[in-house]
Each structure stands twice: as structure tokens, then as C-alpha cells.
Structure 1
């Protein structure tokens, strides 16, 4: 018997929008002023999907920087927001189609992100996608961010559905850990196969949202 699906929770950065690359670019630009450089491969392996405040604490400690982590957070966030305001958001492959598909099926959709709410405001404004999502849970709404399950437990409460009626789409190790710790079915989306090993706690790992959607359509009853 197929599992009934009532709600889908989407991570934001790297799952809905292709924002991780400019997060990296902002990261690099700020750190260059302190004569610190992090390779792109190092960033995506060790820093992507982790809240800015946590990364800032790690960076300050690792490189013994003479700056408070809070100041580093402020500099990076200002640069990220400026970039988002100046550039059109770029969807991850099949993200736009996936959102519309599940919405048209009558499912409840939520964004659950470790980013602050202001980071997704420009996306809503520029893409007119406010009506597609029933709610958001952002960094501003929780005491502990991913990999803590608080954000997904809060999303589950907002959706008013049972955990067995929800799936999560994530793209990072911390996101997967948070979803699974909340007792949710989590599908990881990662096109870089060399990173699949970091997502092994997910129920399944797919190369794209398209692959994941095909699996969902076959194995779940929607609505």
C-alpha cells in the first residue's frame, strides 16, 4: 500500500535556488580582507549548508582572526543580501517545476532553511512565489539551527500533519540530519556524486529533483 503524502518541506539554499555558489563568493570576498582563502571544494565539503554564525566561529578560531564572529556574520550577510537584491534568483534544476507540481496536487508546501528570512524575501518578490508556500521556518524562528531538528519539528507543527504524511528535500548533511532527527522521510538531492557519502543518513539520495519526483509519484499517493 502506498504511503499518503500531504506535505513537502523544501530546504532553500542549494535545493530551491542555486545560491551556494554566491554564498561561497561572498564568503571568499569577506575572508580575503583578512588574508584568508578557502578553496571552493573545501567550502562545499565542509561549510555549505551550515549556518553563517557557526561557520564564522569556526573560521575565526581556525585562522586566529582578530575579529568577533558576530562581526564576520554581519559582513557576510550584508554582502549576501546585496547580491540577492542585485541579481535574479536562479532555480536549481527542476525546482520550479517541482514546486508547481506539488502545489497543483494540493499539497502543503513549506520552506525550512538555516538562512534568515530576509534572505528569501527577494526570491519571493522577484519570482512571485509567496502563494506557492503555506509557511516558512527560517533561522530567525528557531533557537538551534540545523542539524538540530527544531526547525523541522516546528514545520511539522505548522503543517498540522503526521510525520508519516510528510517528505523533505535537502541537499546537505546537516539538513538531512535535522530532518531525520525530527522523524521525517528525507530525500537528499545532490548532483555531485562524490558528495553522496555525506548524505547517507537520508532515506534516498537522488541526482536531481526530477529523479526524486519520479520516485515519489511511483511510491506515494499525493493529496
Structure 2
């Protein structure tokens, strides 16, 4: 079966912004105030791609983190994240070029992130990608974060398209589960450097020819 791809929906962290390390460092810095930490292995295998609130819930269940500390830790994590974003987030030519070319080709472009709205706005501004996107969704725009597919279903509806007309770019297991469950096609990202115009067009051609669906 052949398909006609009309829109591309991007995850943010690990796809358009190389921010995984910033989130990891920021959360551990906040947790360390109370003697807690998440190992790099656990972060990559279990926590990657989940919103901070979900990570804190898991730490409370698994390791006894007092729930009364959640709001303070979350607030501090966001503050530390913003500091890292302000210092480290910069425009990346391959992404600016990719989105500009895709936009010129007539594709609709959107972003759907498990990050909070303030992080999304700051990162898109610092990366100079706002101008190419039709809209951006954060975890505050939905009730259920990834791996639930709600954010992608909302994005697809907002685009006015069918899932089969959309390609989702995701890098971690929670996001990939959400993308697949939405019914859209998937472009699996290894690193932010994989997100190039050539790679995206190649994936679109595979889908439209009925290959590797």
C-alpha cells in the first residue's frame, strides 16, 4: 500500500535539540538537594522521555522520595534546565536547513514534546526553529504524556490530517511507543544529527513507495 505524507511531527529532546544531558543533569542537581540521584543507566533505560512529574512519581514508589518534595524538586529542575538551555542551546544548521526545505516543499510541520511549555518555547527560540513550525505542543497541552499517544493524536487532529498522512520523528522508547500507537509512520532517530533533509526525504520516499512501513 502506498501513502501520501503531508506532515512531519517532531519530538524535541534528542530529535531537534540535543538536550537529554541537560535534563539529566538538571534533575539530578535538584534531587541531590535531598540526597537522591538517578544513575545514567537508569536514566537511559527507564526514565528517558518521561515528563519530570512521572519520574518523581516513580522515585516515590520505588525509592521512597517524599511526595511533599515533588513540587519543589520539579520547580528547581525547571530552573536548572532553563539555565542550561540559555547557556548551551544554539541554532543547528542541519535542522534549520531541513525544516526550511520541508516547509518549502509544502509539508506541514509540528512539534510534540513531553517537556513543559516554558522549555519548549525557550529551546525553539534559542534554536531558531519557531518560524518553520505550524504549532508546538507541550505536555501541558494534554492530559496523558508519552508513552500515551494522546499528544500525537492531538497534533494529527490539529493538522487536519489522517495518521497515515503523518510522519513522526522520535528517538526514545516512550516516544516511539506513542508514535506507533497514534497510527502514524515513524522515523526512528539515533542522534540529533540523523535529522537531516536528506534522511527525512528518504524515509518519506520509502513510505510512499510502500517500503519498510
Partner of 2:130: 130
Partner of 2:62: 62
Partner of 2:186: 186
Partner of 2:33: 33
**Number of residue pairs matched by the alignment:** 206
Partner of 1:215: 202
- Preserved contact between residue 110 and residue 134 of structure 1 (Cα < 8 Å): yes
Deviates more, 1:63-72 or 1:164-173: 63-72
Partner of 1:49: 49
Secondary structure at the residue paired with 2:167?
A: strand
**What whole-Å deviation, never above 9, does each CA across 1:51-70 have from its counterpart, x for those lacking one?**
11000111233222344323
Against the structure 1 CA distance between its residues 141 and 64, is the aligned structure 2 distance closer, same or farther, given a 3 Å change threshold? same
TM-score between both structures, scaled by the size of structure 1: 0.82
Partner of 2:23: 23
Partner of 1:156: 156
**Is 1:85 matched with 2:86?**
yes
TM-score between both structures, scaled by the size of structure 2: 0.86
**What whole-Å deviation, never above 9, does each CA across 1:104-128 have from its counterpart, x for those lacking one?**
2111000001111110222333333
Distance 2:51 2:23 in 1: 11
Distance 2:64 2:51 in 1: 20
Against the structure 1 CA distance between its residues 183 and 20, is the aligned structure 2 distance closer, same or farther, given a 3 Å change threshold? same
Against the structure 1 CA distance between its residues 22 and 168, is the aligned structure 2 distance closer, same or farther, given a 3 Å change threshold? same
Q: Taking CA–CA contacts closer than 8 Å with sequence separation of 6 or more, which of the two structures ends up with the larger relative contact order?
A: 2
Secondary structure at the residue paired with 1:4?
A: coil
Task: List alignment gaps of at least 5 residues for structure 2.
Answer: 209-213
- Preserved contact between residue 16 and residue 96 of structure 1 (Cα < 8 Å): no
Against the structure 1 CA distance between its residues 90 and 57, is the aligned structure 2 distance closer, same or farther, given a 3 Å change threshold? farther
CA RMSD of aligned residues (A): 2.4
CA-CA distance at 1:87 after TM superposition? 3.1
Partner of 1:201: none
- Preserved contact between residue 147 and residue 175 of structure 1 (Cα < 8 Å): yes
Distance 1:32 1:23 in 2: 14
Which structure shows the bigger proportion of residues in helix conformation?
2
